[in-house]
Amino acid sequence: MKLAGRRSAWLCALLLAPAFACRNREPPAPPTAARYVVRAEIARLPARPGDELLLRHEAIPGFRDRSGAVVGMGSMVMGFGTAADLPLAGLAPGDPVEVTFTVDWERPALTVERLVRLPPGTTLTFGKRAP
């Protein structure tokens, strides 16, 4: 009888453990990095490897802050680090581009991973946060 009682206790513990584990679990941590695609104008190219790429970008309505809350971001001039293999040859200040960049809140760091030149004459819209 003792063996059957122990088996029942183990069975109940196994069945109830997930319920207690879920109840006591901390909420998941917000992601430390997020990726965005935005159109921008080159404000300044890096003078040397490791220098910042300065971009004047359009508003980013889905931008998330450190906590993960969507706060949006108005257009502005910002400095970005660049991926080591990012091709910048042939670009000049004033060129319209589309960039993919990451924001890593843990480091913190802003890094352009991809940059594509847009056709000359592309109209960019600079202003406050998009709704």
Would you state the pLDDT for residue 47? 87
Would you state the pLDDT for residue 35? 94
As a whole number of Å, the CA-based R_g of the chain is 24
Would you state the pLDDT for residue 50? 78
**Matching residue, tokens 């695609």:** 37
Note the CATH number of domain 33-117.
Answer: 2.40.50.320
Alpha-carbon distances of 108 from 52, 102, 105, rounded to whole Å: 14, 10, 4
Q: Report d(CA 49, CA 38) in Å as an integer.
A: 23
Domain ranges of the chain: 33-117
Question: Pick from 4, 82, 11, 83: which is nearest to 44 by CA?
Answer: 82
- In tens digits, the chain (131 residues) has pLDDT values of 555 555 555 444 444 444 444 444 444 444 568 999 999 999 999 988 778 999 999 999 999 998 889 999 999 999 999 988 888 999 999 999 999 999 998 888 999 999 999 999 999 999 765 54
